[in-house]
Structure 1
Amino acid sequence: MREDASRSNVLMQLTPTVTTQGPPPTHTNAAQLQLRSWTAAAWSLIFTTAALLVISVVITAFVSTTLLADSGALSPSATRPASRPELPAAGDKLGGVLRAAPIRSTPACDSAACMDQARLLLRQINASRHPCDDFYAYVCEDWALTRPLPPGAEQMSMDTILIDGYAEILESVLQEKAASFPPLRFILDQCLHPPPTLFHSLRAMFLDTVRLRHWMTQSSSLRRPSPVEVSRKLGVAFREMGIDALFRPFVVASVNSTKRFLGLGEPSTVLLAGPIQKEEYELVRRAFAPLLGLFQNETDVDLLQFEERLCVMLSRPQLDAAALFSGVTVKVRDLPVLPNFEWTSFLQSVFDNGLRPITARTYVKLSSPDYIVQLTRGDLSRLPYELLGYLLFRVTMALSPLIEDQTTRDYLASVSYARHPEFSQVLPQAHYCLHLLERFEPNLALHMSRKSASSLLGGEGAVAECVHALRSVMLEHVEARLEPLSSALRAYLRDKISAISWEPLAPPALGDAAVRAAYVDGVYLRNSQLSTAQFFYTWIRKSQEKKFMSPMSQRSRSAAYPGWTGGFLGAESHLPPPYDRLEIPLPVFDFFLDADPRLRPLQLARAAPKVYRSLLRAMYHLAYNFENTDMDDRKIDSSAGFVHTLDELRLCLERQYTALAWTDRRLQLDASRTSWSDLWDNLALRPALDAFLFLAHRVAPDYRVSLLEHWNASQLFFLYYATNFCENSNDRFVRKMAVQGPHSPAWFRVNGPLRNSPEFALAFDCKPGTFMNPVTKCAQ
């Protein structure tokens, strides 16, 4: 059926057939007979006409009554389940689905933007699938088929499309706006066209600061650095550049007090996201061969093997253990002994005198005690030259976008700044520069691009409307839906959520001229006498100092303001401890969606699940501390508490997801690796639906989009919810995701929460026992 035909109403006409038969003729007077025949015909015509008029009136009344009744039944306030949509024939997206729309009090959005959006959705719906059999396949299967992967690429998704699009936009905006701030303009120009000596001079400056000499990275050297020397070098590298070769230090506030603790977390990695399977080790080594070859004259360390051994020890905790009341806290002197490593020297080098004098009696919070135990059992720190050779590698990789030779730069920077290093792709130089900004100092670039970013969403008013809806619905969710909460815990969470600073698109504090001036002071120098390498050296060091040391700073709040810490080239919101600032980068929204206000509810089908994941994760930590501290002498039964309920829900989801099989990809999930992320997905679904309906109702009481009138507002939410998880991934990558986590592949992230959602089953009239409406559900 053509699209044009779908817009016309189906007219059904009732044409009754009336047969008139006269009396049999007689052989009397012929004229009299003819007169009688004419008279009978006239009366027959009169009766037939009257009958047709009566039938027409009856039919009109019946049809009008039926349509008006249907209109009321399909309103958003109706509580009856929506009728199961008929499936079109395979290959015919419109046949059987687009039925005549009932008369409504508010017309469907028929603007050009709405019609274009409707056509996009209709083109990706897989008509051969039924929504109650596999909703992800129904929405995303054709989406993936029309977006083939480039050679060697691991994944294409709505998230990656938006992140890459944002990078293109940001590059253009900064080229235009940075002229108003010459120091940033200088950094961008030098990065886009690196001078021949910049990388080598800059790396030499940092290696000199760390006091890392060439002989220290060689196995053949007769001299060996002492454990104190090794520890200090690792500590200084983190303090000056943020290089977390062995540990990631941090500062965390004590629960329910103003006391601050030093913390130790797991390091990041550069080459690998997790352990390598034996059968793929040689494949990975061949892929990294050009990169590893560049370091043969730098160090004797087998860098891939070293990082693979490191990955085996990492547990990648999904909770902020150091921010929990039950987090492990030990004195420095009680930390386990590691070969060639000295704890006090390391911590003193990291924190200097920023917090307090560090001694053997200083308390330290551990975000991953298991990792430290694994270090004591392994041989990772057995040889000093391996630790320091790996440190040299990490410094080089961090600065790699500034290498002048393009071939060498692409080998290193494409891996160092890849989303998934094992599947790295060469990027445009401008993208490497954006990654450099994100790593060291993202905030000024975000501030300068804020107006351009908001204009993509319809302006500051549109952004404010979305944030207002998200915030209002979450507060209502805490007040009325989140269970089981005691009155005290409900009030506590409501107050905490109300106090959070929502920061869409950029740090709002930098809009204040005084805060901005204090923030850039010392970071962006205006001294023209400095060499380019000295300028970058100061920029990196001071940016890291401001970001890391601000929790310890005694300076004014504006001078110590750290800005965003979660980056901007990502599609997730961030709400790190102490859970008081919610960072929402632009790719959380769909800025390719037209800014027509009538399409604005569709923004929340994407943004709400991403924002609410962060908020609900923070609420888990806040509730955990509330329920496990003896505040005001209250007594809480932990077995009936909110946190216990969520823990039970997570375990239920873990069992449920483990039992699922993605038959199209012959894939099963190690749900023990993904269960925390799966929990946030499930918890975020209902408030996300509420936020969508909240904004949709403000647009129209019966929110519809032309060409999609057969789907009501709730159905539209679920369709766009799924669309924003659509992805095309190669088999090797999706299997690594399923084994390593921390997030499930998209098929599980869509179907998993929806299978546990009564609202979804109601919206699509999925019968109990169908795949998308199992009889046994995991419910809070």
Structure 2
Amino acid sequence: MDILILAIMLSTSEAYFFSPIWFSKRINTTTSTHQQGKLIPDLPHRWSRVAKSNTVCQTDQCKKAAEALLENMNQTADPCEDFYEFACGNWDKSHPMPPTESSWSQFDVANDKNLYQIKDILESDVDTTDPSPVSAAKTVYQTCIRRDTSDTKENLKPILALMSSIGGGWPMVSGNRWDDKNFVWYEASADVISQIYSTAVFGVFVTNDRKNTKANVITVDQSAFLLPREMLVKSSTYKLQLEAYKTFVTEVAWVLAKAAGSSDVTKSSLHREAEEMIQFEIKLANLASPQEMRRNVLRTYNPMTLRELQEWSDMAAPNQIDWLKYVKRITANLTLTFDWTERVIVRETDYVFRCIQLLQETSPRVIANFIHFGIVRHFVRDMTAKIHQLTFEFDRVLSGATNDKPRWKDCISTANSALEMALGYSYVQKHFDNSAKLAALEMSDNIKSVFSEELGKLEWMDSSTRELARQKVAAMARHIGYPAWYSNSSALEYYYQGLEVSDNHFNNVLESSRFKFSKNYKRLRVPSERDEWIISPADVNAFFNPSKNVIIFPAAILQPPFFTKDRPSALNYGGIGVVIGHEITHAFDDYGRQFDAEGNYAQWWTESTKETYLNKSKCFVHQYGSYRVSELDGMLSDGTTLNGVNTLGENIADNGGLHAALAAYRKQSAQHGAEPSLPGLESFSAEQLFFLSFANNWCETVTKESLLQTVLSDPHSPHRYRVIGTIQNSEDFPKIFNCPRKKVDTCVIW
């Protein structure tokens, strides 16, 4: 998925399992078996409790659930010492990580199953009853599969032609033929946004107005980077990755230069220019704000007119950019008009100011190289076999995967990027049991109700803030399974009106990017829709969108191990129930709490309650910031810990979600009575099974390289700590597992 699209989604939503790095997957640590506290097999464990029910569930679903839990468990570990190891210690043995992957989790297993189901859909013959977007998705996929990837000049003509049309081409490839007189950096940047819907120096896109969520507005933001910002700003620490990056740029440029017939281009000249380009990107990264600074909504909400933005830029360096011309060029192919009174939101005013100064000090050739490599990296998996191989070699340094993915997975990604809602439509039609949607609706009702009840027990929250918090919970909308308009195939056709696909793979990728750009900018003059879906129903994920106050659970996550009908509710509440609780809690994490019931940025907290909340959140920052990631010793300086600030929102959501789901399960259990136990797990109480189900959400194997990506830039903690942290803070867990009392610092907000 494109970096800009991810940036837009992250700016408006909090995800349960979302990675902001395009080349990386969610990652976690592996752990070794605890040697102390070993338990004697076949004898009662000190933490065991006799289940309340004397019956054992013997349905197929119960047997499968029990088998899955048992094969992942390491029962020689002490659950009171390391519950992640107890619940997931044998995950790597029962689920060996494929060589094409850099991490392998429950999410990946579920997603892999989905990929095969989608593959069957895309490889099936075109059905005359299919809506046209479904047929188009099949065309995109099958064209991708059949494409010629031989290393010929003919196959590189499309990318060379595209680059030639933007700023006179890529200087590194053109050699002495490139003329800076034909290059205006902001014109080239505008063309990149409109042609491939990506960032170039600035991100410029349309989002909800955070103070008026019913309106959409042009938003200006800092650039996105290929490497994590931390690697760029600490380049001396990450020499291996920076050298791999330089090699990647050099070798890709060499392939394209030969295809372009540039006889004056040499490997040494490319190496020098790649170094200059990366140094420029490092300077940009140093100007950019880290993620932890961007969680303050007020700081990143800077409304102004284009005229005011122009005056701000001119103070930095006169005549470096004409913002009105810039916006008009971006939207040249759309029926939109602008003047200097156009209102925009600038996320990072300091970045804009200092970036304009940097651009004035930088040669046009270096800027053009940076912009054009951004174009190339958008298509690196869509060109020849040689460039594809170079991409994998670079990716391997960053991710640790040993084998490249098969082409069919790349082609599913291409088809999904172009027509994700069409693939979601077919997925729902063929593979989704609507009873799962009804069950998820009921569970979300229960957990919302309990969350609201729990607000009444909070002594630190004053009554006026509590009432507004309850109103926010009550107003929270739910998108579960799939959008309502899926019932009408003509609505799907309307959604993709204007997208044309063909039997030319490169053109399909380009046209889908242009279509997404057009769809984004056409929102500018129309009211924002609260029921808009931001993700495909075929995606194994979940979201909270703070600007709409809506929780989103696509159909694909309503499957094992997260949810299965006809199994004990303890497993479903520990699985998908915790996910639901997590997303509800996002409305009250350090970021989501800044939005009101309508999704608008507003100061609805009293000062005293806000101050108490902020003090309580510092506990989570310290707790998670003290978790040491020993697996990275040797890659970084010994003693590497998590970033407690960057992960604060997800950590608050993890803890609140677990508490709310358990409270909702207890309420449901009190109404419906004791549940049967599971075969092979008869000694486990229902609430112990709840916690096992929760921990199994996060079972994972990971490479050190991918773990590094998470620690540096992911807003989620590595999987192991998502279990350890919540268990440490749970007042219920030690009682349920009969753990000895210990003096342990705990953090609780919700």
State TM-score, norm by structure 1: 0.74
**SS of the residue aligned with 1:504?**
strand
Partner residue of 1:446 out of 424, 427, 439: 424
Q: Distance in 2 between matches of 1:551 and 1:565?
A: 14
Q: Is the 8 A contact 2:621 2:648 kept in 1?
A: yes
Is the counterpart of residue 408 in structure 1 residue 387 in structure 2? yes
Deviation, structure 1 residue 469: 0.6
1:159 aligns with 2:136: no
Look up the match of 2:439. Answer: 465
Closer/same/farther in 2, CA of residues 406 and 216 from structure 1, 3 Å limit? closer
Matches within 5 A, 1:440-519: 440-454=418-432, 459-481=433-455, 483=458, 492-494=468-470, 496-519=472-495
The answer as to whether partners of 1:255 and 1:323 remain within 8 angstroms in 2 is: no
Matched, 1:686 2:639: no
Does residue 309 of structure 2 align to residue 332 of structure 1?
A: yes
Q: Which runs of 5+ in 2 are unaligned?
A: 1-34, 258-269, 633-638
Any idea what SS the aligned residue of 1:265 has? strand
Q: How far apart, in 2, do the equivalents of 1:502 and 1:635 lie? A: 22
- The residue type equivalent to 1:168 in the other structure is Y
CA offset at residue 551 of structure 1? 2.4
Q: What displacement does 1:88 show?
A: 12
Q: Per-residue CA shift, 1:17-43, capped at 9, x if unaligned?
A: xxxxxxxxxxxxxxxxxxxxxxxxxxx
Report the structure number with the largest CA radius of gyration: 1
Match of 1:653 among 620, 623, 628: 620
- In the TM superposition, 1:239-388 aligns within 5 A as 239-249=194-204, 250-256=206-212, 258=214, 260-272=216-228, 274-275=230-231, 278-282=236-240, 285-286=243-244, 289=247, 292-296=250-254, 297-298=256-257, 300-302=273-275, 304-317=278-291, 327-330=301-304, 331-336=308-313, 340-351=320-331, 357-369=337-349, 371-372=351-352, 375=355, 382-388=362-368
- The amino acid of 1:346's aligned partner reads Y
Partner of 2:138: 185
- Provide the C-alpha distance between the structure 1 equivalents of 2:291 and 2:46, rounded to a whole number of angstroms: 48
Which residue of structure 1 aligns with residue 715 of structure 2? 742
Residues 514/264 of structure 1: CA separation in 2 closer, same or farther (3 Å cut): same
> Any conservation in 2 of the 1:447–1:511 contact (CA below 8 Å)?
no
Give 1:514 shift: 3.7
Task: Deviation per CA, 1:720-779: give whole Å up to 9, x if none.
Answer: 211211222233443453344422222321111221111212212333326xxx155444
Counterpart position of 1:65? none
8 Å Cα contact 2:106/2:698 also seen in 1: yes
**Contact 2:39/2:78 (8 A) holds in 1:** no
Provide the residue aligned with 2:89 in structure 1: 141
User: CA separation of 1:177/1:507 partners in 2, compared to 1, >3 Å: closer, same or farther?
Assistant: farther
Larger mean Cα displacement after TM superposition, 365-374 or 419-428: 419-428
- Using the TM superposition, give the Cα deviation of residue 412 of structure 1 relative to its aligned residue in structure 2, in angstroms: 3.2
Residues 1:631 and 1:248: Cα distance change in structure 2 (over 3 Å): closer
Q: Distance between the aligned counterparts of 1:108 and 1:592, measured in 2? A: 20
Q: Which residue of 1 aligns with 2:371?
A: 391
Report if aligned partners of 2:202, 2:221 keep a CA contact under 8 Å in 1: yes
1:274–1:308 contact (8 Å) kept in structure 2 = no
- Give yes or no for contact 2:549–2:597 (8 Å, CA) kept in 1: no
What secondary structure does 2:303 align onto? strand
Deviations 1:556-601 (Å, cap 9, x if unpaired)? x9xx999643467864322335225544345534436794512565
> What CA distance in whole angstroms lies between the structure 2 residues aligned with 1:97 and 1:184?
54
Shift of 1:534: 5.4
**Does the Cα contact within 8 Å between 2:141 and 2:414 map onto a contact in 1?**
no
Deviation at 1:715, TM superposition (A): 1.4
- Tell me, in whole angstroms, the C-alpha distance in 2 between the residues paired with 1:636 and 1:618: 13
Q: Which amino acid aligns with 1:293?
A: E
**Structure 1 residues 400, 315: closer, same or farther in 2, change over 3 A?**
same
Q: What TM-score do the two structures reach when normalised by structure 2?
A: 0.77
Greater relative contact order (Cα < 8 A, sep 6+): 2
> How far apart in 2 are the matches of 1:92 and 1:120?
22
How far, CA to CA, are the matches of 1:629 and 1:171 in structure 2?
A: 37
Asked if structure 1 preserves the Cα contact closer than 8 Å seen for 2:539 and 2:554, the reply is: yes
CA shift, 1:130, in A, is 1.6
Report whether the alignment pairs 1:121 with 2:69: yes
Residue from 578, 581, 598 that aligns with 2:547: 578
Contact 2:213–2:548 under 8 Å retained in 1 = no
Compared with structure 1, are the counterparts of its residues 639 and 544 closer, same or farther at alpha carbon in structure 2 (3 Å cutoff)? same
User: Does the 8 Å contact 1:605/1:721 carry over to 2?
Assistant: yes
The C-alpha deviation readout for 1:60-111, integer Å capped at 9, x for no partner, is xxxxxxxxxxxxxxxxxxxxxxxxxxx9995865443499986956623123
- 1:250-279 CA deviation, whole Å, 9 max, x = no partner? 332252475543212233333446415524
Query: What is the alpha-carbon distance in structure 2 between the residues aligned to residue 220 and residue 453 of structure 1?
Result: 56
2:566 to 597, 601, 604: 597
Q: What secondary structure, in the 3-state scheme, does the structure 2 residue paired with 1:768 have?
A: coil
Give the deviation of 1:460 after TM superposition.
0.6
The question of whether the paired residues in 2 share the 8 Å contact of 1:756 and 1:778 is answered with yes
C-alpha distance in 2 between matches for 1:165 and 1:116: 16
Distance in 2, Cα, partners of 1:217 & 1:205: 12
Cα distance, 1:522 vs. partner?
Answer: 1.4
Number of residue equivalences: 674
Structure 1 position 655, deviation (Å)? 1.4
Shift of 1:333: 2.5
What is the CA-CA distance between 1:402 and the residue it aligns to?
A: 3.1
Alignment partner of 1:400: what SS? coil
| Letter of the 2:443 counterpart | A
> Residues 64-103 of structure 1: matches in 2 within 5 Å?
90=38, 93-97=41-45
Kindly provide the CA deviation profile for residues 429-483 of structure 1, in whole angstroms up to 9, marking residues without a partner as x: 12112222343431111111113342xxxx1112321232123312431244364
Q: Distance in 2 between matches of 1:563 and 1:322?
A: 25
Q: Alpha-carbon deviation of 1:672?
A: 3.0
Distance 1:609 1:424, change over 3 A: farther
* Matched-pair contact (CA < 8 Å) for 2:231–2:238: no
Contact 1:519 1:561 in 2 (8 A): no
Q: 1:486 to 1:464 in 2, by over 3 A?
A: farther
How far has the Cα of 1:419 moved from its partner? 13
Structure 2 counterpart SS, 1:402: coil
CA contact (8 A) 2:203 2:221 kept: yes
Q: Is the 8 A contact 2:677 2:686 kept in 1?
A: yes
2: CA distance, partners of 1:101 / 1:619: 35
State the Cα distance separating 1:711 from its structure 2 match. 1.9
Q: Distance in 2 between matches of 1:631 and 1:580?
A: 11
Say if 2:734 is the partner of 1:761.
yes
SS state at 1:364 partner? strand
Q: 1:766 to 1:100 in 2, by over 3 A?
A: closer
Provide the secondary structure at the position in 1 that maps to 2:567. Answer: helix
Shift of 1:673: 3.1
CA RMSD of the aligned region, Å?
Answer: 4.4
**What does residue 552 of structure 1 align with?**
524
Q: Which residue of 2 aligns with 1:725?
A: 698
Residue aligned with 1:137, SS: helix
